[in-house]
C-alpha cells in the first residue's frame, strides 16, 4: 500500500553540525518527493523537492538525494542554525502526477546553540 | 496577499454539532486538498479535488464532506462532531503535479 517511512523521529544536533533525515517509499511509480518544514504553530512550507529524473538537488545549506533503485531519499542540512529547529516532513506522490502526497511521520529537529 | 487562506483559525464546539471550515486560494491552482494533522503531528490526506474529480481517502468518515462552489474554494463540512475529530485541519492547493501550498490551519477542538 501507500507508505512513506521517515527516520529518525527526533534529532538533536549542535549548532554548526550537519543533520540527515531519511525516508523510504513503496510505490516505484512515485516521481515527486518534496520536503516540508513546519515550525511550531505554523503551516508546513516546502523547503526543497526533487523529481525522479534527478539524483541530487542542492539549495544553499539544504540538499536532497534520491536513490530510485532503493526507493529512498534523504534531506541533508549543513551548518545547522537554531532557526532550523522545526518538524521536517518528507513526502512522496503516489499514483502518478495527479496522485496525492503521502507524508512521512515527521522528524523533530532541535539545533542547540 | 495570502495565497491560501482558511477560516476560522480556531474552532471550539460541542460533540454532536455540525461545523464548516472555509478555504480559499488565489494562486489559480487546479487542485485543492484537505489534510488532518493529529496531536502526534501526522499529516494525512483527507480529500483532493479539482474541477473534474473528487478523491476521497477511504479512511475518512462520511461525516466529512468537501464542497467546492468554484475553483478557488474548497470548504469542509463536518457533521455530528466527535471527540476524535479534534485536530488541526489544513487546506492546500497546487497545480497538477506541482508544489502544494498550505493554508494556516484551523485548530478544531471538540468538547
DSSP B14-63: -TT--EEEEEEE-S--SEEEEEEE-TT--EEEEEEE-SS-EEE-TTS-TT
As beta bridge partners, residue A7 has: A22
CA B18 remoteness from chain centre: 15
**pLDDT for the residue A31:** 87
CA dist., res. B44 & res. B34, Å (int): 9
**pLDDT for the residue B1:** 62
Q: Which of A58, A64, A74 is nearest to A25 (CA)?
A: A74
Residues of B in CB contact (< 8 Å) with A are: 31, 33, 40-45, 48, 55, 57, 90, 96-97, 99-105
Q: pLDDT tens across B16-53, in order?
A: 999 999 999 999 998 999 999 999 889 999 999 987 67
Cβ contacts (< 8 Å) between A89 and chain B: which residues?
43
Give the minimum alpha-carbon distance from A98 to chain B in angstroms, rounded to a whole number: 6
Q: ∠ at Cα A102 (A28, B10), nearest 5°?
A: 175
Select from A38, A98, A99 the residue whose CB has the most chain B CBs within 10 Å, as the one to mutate to test that interface: A98
Q: Which of B96, B18, B9, B27 is nearest to A43 (CA)?
A: B9
Over range B59-88, report the average pLDDT.
Answer: 94
- CB nearest to B43's CB, from A45, A49, A103: A103
Q: Do A43 and B42 touch (CB under 8 A)?
A: no
CB A83, CB A47: distance < 8 Å: no
Name the pLDDT band for A10 (thresholds 50, 70, 90): very high
Q: Which three cell numbers stand for residue B90?
A: 489544513
Least confident of A2-16, A44-58, B52-66, B90-104: B52-66
pLDDT at B76 over 70: yes
Name the pLDDT band for A1 (thresholds 50, 70, 90): low
Cβ contacts (< 8 Å) between B104 and chain A: which residues?
42-43
CB A23, CB A5: distance < 8 Å: yes
Over range B48-61, report the average pLDDT.
Answer: 81
Amino acid at each position: 500500500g501507500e507508505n512513506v517511512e521517515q527516520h529518525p523521529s527526533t534529532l538533536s544536533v549542535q549548532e554548526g553540525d550537519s543533520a540527515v533525515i531519511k525516508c523510504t517509499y513503496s510505490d516505484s511509480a512515485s516521481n515527486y518527493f518534496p520536503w516540508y518544514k513546519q515550525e511550531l504553530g505554523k503551516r508546513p512550507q516546502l523547503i526543497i523537492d526533487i523529481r525522479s529524473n534527478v539524483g541530487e538537488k542542492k539549495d544553499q545549506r539544504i540538499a536532497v538525494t534520491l536513490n530510485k533503485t532503493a526507493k529512498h531519499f534523504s534531506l541533508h542540512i549543513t551548518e545547522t542554525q537554531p532557526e532550523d529547529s522545526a518538524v521536517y516532513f518528507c513526502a512522496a506522490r503516489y499514483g502518478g502526477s495527479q496522485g496525492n502526497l503521502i507524508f512521512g511521520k515527521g522528524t523533530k529537529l532541535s539545533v542547540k546553540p | 496577499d495570502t495565497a491560501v487562506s482558511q477560516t476560522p483559525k480556531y474552532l471550539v464546539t460541542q460533540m454532536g454539532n455540525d461545523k464548516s471550515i472555509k478555504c480559499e486560494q488565489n494562486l489559480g491552482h487546479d487542485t485543492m486538498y484537505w489534510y488532518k494533522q493529529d496531536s502526534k503531528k501526522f499529516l494525512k490526506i483527507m480529500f483532493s479535488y479539482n474541477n473534474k474529480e473528487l478523491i476521497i481517502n477511504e479512511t475518512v468518515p462520511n461525516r466529512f464532506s468537501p464542497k467546492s462552489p468554484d475553483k478557488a474554494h474548497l470548504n469542509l463540512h463536518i457533521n455530528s462532531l466527535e471527540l476524535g475529530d479534534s485536530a488541526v485541519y489544513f487546506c492546500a492547493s497546487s497545480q497538477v503535479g506541482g508544489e502544494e501550498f498550505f493554508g494556516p490551519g484551523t485548530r478544531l477542538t471538540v468538547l
